Amino acid sequence: MLTNYLCAGEIVNGHLKLTAALAFKAAMRKMPPGPVIVKVGRVKRQRSLDQNAYLHAVPFTLLADHFGDSIEGTKYDLMGHFWGWQPSKIDPSRSVPIRSSTADMSDEECSKFIDWLIPWAAMEHGVLIPLPNEMNT
């Protein structure tokens, strides 16, 4: 017996249009009778593979070289610097980034991170980082 079901869709002119309406109807027939909760939310698009490749190949690498650190260590520090810090669950006397991975970012959040990172690196540390669109020129 089915207990949970997710179905993608979109809002069109104020109406919900399900991506797989027939599959949704079939799934509803398999649900046990009784109360349910229906939740509709915006889709959060994960950062793109191009954004991730750019971050690791260009800014993280240039800044790691500048600071004499590993790419992962530099990424960890930059994520904390931008997203903020919180006490470690293992050792509360130590701070860890609220976000420590680019995989957790939406494409919009990743763009904001890149838009912050490039001028921050130039102004705070004199490291000039090419923009993503300058990489193939």
What are the tens digits of pLDDT across the range 26-74? 888 888 888 988 888 876 666 778 888 899 999 999 999 999 999 999 9
Q: How large a percentage of the chain has pLDDT more than 90?
A: 48
Neighbour count for residue 75 (Cβ, 10 Å): 21
User: Per the structure block, which two tokens stand in for 7?
Assistant: 């179905």
* Better-predicted residue by pLDDT, 6 or 44: 6
Closest CA to 75 of 104, 102, 108: 102
* Better-predicted residue by pLDDT, 66 or 9: 66
User: What residues does each domain of the chain span?
Assistant: 1-43, 49-134
Contact 54, 101 (CB under 8 A): no
Vertex 88 angle, CA 83 and 94, to 5°: 95
